[in-house]
Amino acid sequence: MAASQLLTVIEPDGGVNGHDVGMTNDELLHCYRTLLRTRAFDDTCMKLQRSGRIGFSIPNKGVEATQIGAAAALRRTDWLFPSYRDFGMALYHGVPMVEMMHNMFGNARDGAKGRQMPVHFSFVEPVKFVSISSPIGTHIPQAVGAAYAMKQRGEDTVALASFGDGGTSSLGFHSGLTFAGVWKAPVVFLCQNNQWAISCPSSKQTASESYAIKGKAYGVPGVLVDGNDVLAVRQATLAAVERARRGGGPTLIEAFTFRMAGHSTSDDPSRYVPKEQFAEWEKKDPVLRFEKFLAKKKLWNEDLRAQWTTEALAEVDAAAKIAEATPRPGIESIFSDVYADVPAHIRKQGEAAFDLARRKGDASAGDGKFPL
């Protein structure tokens, strides 16, 4: 594996060209099912947003193989520092869809109590899926710090920080890789190069020959992998994870993929992505790619896809119904969790807000649409 040579496992005919896949049939089918569940969750959230039932979503279509492949290389005791386009990783490790849907609706059962935009998940169980923030790259040095703590305690866990191609231009990428290289921290950097940072193509993001090669100057080995190939991403991530567990230090993985949709529900990619690029990558759809491989192993047929897709859509639908019927958080949730204890000045502001609501009625909620 190298920074300039693309690692691919699944061949066009579904073969693996002599690679040792190293996964049981159950594991492979868990990957497949998670691909379908991720896509079903994504599809449904887009529809919920278009019909005005939620305010915002972040499409995942096209980049699922990178998420599932990376998640499949991790244990549940490892820590994920995700970006906002990573919910496939949470699904892979068993986060219930309804928990994710509570966040999409920002209701009273949302872990973040409705304080964050949709898709800004935070989970501690069954896996550490660290609270997502919107600023780009800030979580990269945080993953290095969490990894330092693991190393200091002699644990064999690792941290994985996931970010996009645009994230490599951030301050956090520079400081994160600098620190990880010096500390030999047990961390894996996963750059999901989907070729577009909102509307900015890689050619305007960097003059570097690749993102993977950027690791070299930090003393962090860089690996370029086919991001639409679940098995290639898993293989590259597993090698990086095992290296980190052994004390070998960090790795930068660039997964080359494509976002088959807009940046968010507020974005129209037809304004900047050439039509031909969409057409080209439709053919490289990561789900179809994995199905080819499974079919060759006699683990797949059309019926399986139909059955699991139907089940996944029903699961999302049920989750959405529960989340939608769950009430909004109470006003008091605005004022808690700022600090461990509520300080006097915040308590007073809360009491004034309750008092005003009693006297003048609740504030008007607006239509909840993200206007960009």
Partner 1 sequence: MATLTLLQAVNDALKTAMRDDPNVVVFGEDVGPKGGVFLATEGLTKEFGENRCFDTPLSEDGIVGAGIGMALNGLKPVCEIQFQDFIFPAFDQIVSEAAKFRYRSGGQYTCPMVIRTPYGGGIRGGLYHSQSGEAYFCHTPGLKVVIPSTPYDAKGLLLASIDDPDPVLFLEPKALYRQLKGEVPEGRYKVDLSTLRTVREGRNVTVFCYGAMVPVCQRAADQAAEKGIESLVVDLRTLLPLDEEGVIEAAKQTGRVVVVHEAPRFCGFGGEISALIAEHAIEYMEAPVVRVTGFDTPFPNTLEHHYMPDERRVLDAIEHVHGF
- The residue ranges that bind partner 1 (CB under 8 A) are 79, 81, 110-113, 115-116, 120, 122-124, 130-131, 133, 135, 138, 140-150, 152-153, 159, 171-172, 174-176, 178-179, 182, 337-340, 343-346
Which one, 277 or 333, has the nearer CB to partner 1? Answer: 333
Which helix (DSSP H) or strand (DSSP E) does residue 252 occupy?
Answer: strand 251-256
Q: How far is the CB of 195 from partner 1 (least distance, A)?
A: 26
Find how far residue 168's CA is from the centre of its chain: 16
**Sheet of 222-226, strand order:** 6-7, 222-226, 251-256, 187-193, 159-164, 79-81, 128-129
Q: Please name the residues in contact with 128: beta carbons below 8 A apart, sequence gap of 6 or more.
A: 78, 79, 80
Q: How far is the CB of 76 from partner 1 (least distance, A)?
A: 15
Which of 85, 93, 234, 259 does the annotation list as catalytic? 259
Find how far residue 273's CA is from the centre of its chain: 22
Question: 3-state class of 116 per DSSP?
Answer: coil
Question: 3-state class of 119 per DSSP?
Answer: coil
Which one, 14 or 145, has the nearer CB to partner 1? Answer: 145
Q: How far is the CB of 247 from partner 1 (least distance, A)?
A: 14
Q: Rounded to an integer, what distance in angstroms lies between the CA atom of residue 370 and that of residue 372? A: 6
Q: Rounded to an integer, what distance in angstroms lies between the CA atom of residue 204 and that of residue 296? A: 40
Q: How far is the CB of 23 from partner 1 (least distance, A)?
A: 29
Which of 121, 117, 91 lies closest to 106 in space, CA to CA?
A: 117
Q: How far is the CB of 189 from partner 1 (least distance, A)?
A: 13
Which of 53, 272, 305, 328 does the annotation list as catalytic? 272
Q: How far is the CB of 128 from partner 1 (least distance, A)?
A: 8
Q: Rounded to an integer, what distance in angstroms lies between the CA atom of residue 91 and that of residue 55? A: 22
Which one, 278 or 335, has the nearer CB to partner 1? Answer: 335
DSSP 144: H
Q: Rounded to an integer, what distance in angstroms lies between the CA atom of residue 270 and that of residue 262? A: 8
19 in catalytic set = no
Q: Rounded to an integer, what distance in angstroms lies between the CA atom of residue 158 and that of residue 253? A: 15
53 in catalytic set = no
Checking 299-302 for CB contacts under 8 A at 24+ apart, the result is: 299/25, 299/28, 299/29, 299/32, 300/32
76 in catalytic set = no
Q: How far is the CB of 149 from partner 1 (least distance, A)?
A: 4
Q: Are 307 and 321 in contact (CB under 8 A)?
A: no
Which one, 61 or 93, has the nearer CB to partner 1? Answer: 93
Which one, 110 or 315, has the nearer CB to partner 1? Answer: 110
Which one, 322 or 334, has the nearer CB to partner 1? Answer: 334
Sign of the Cα torsion 308, 110, 67, 262 reads positive
Q: How far is the CB of 21 from partner 1 (least distance, A)?
A: 32
Which one, 182 or 217, has the nearer CB to partner 1? Answer: 182
Q: Please name the residues in contact with 96: beta carbons below 8 A apart, sequence gap of 6 or more.
A: 319
Which of 263, 328, 339, 347 does the annotation list as catalytic? 263
Which one, 56 or 123, has the nearer CB to partner 1? Answer: 123
Q: Rounded to an integer, what distance in angstroms lies between the CA atom of residue 51 and that of residue 273? A: 25
Catalytic residue annotation: 259, 263, 272
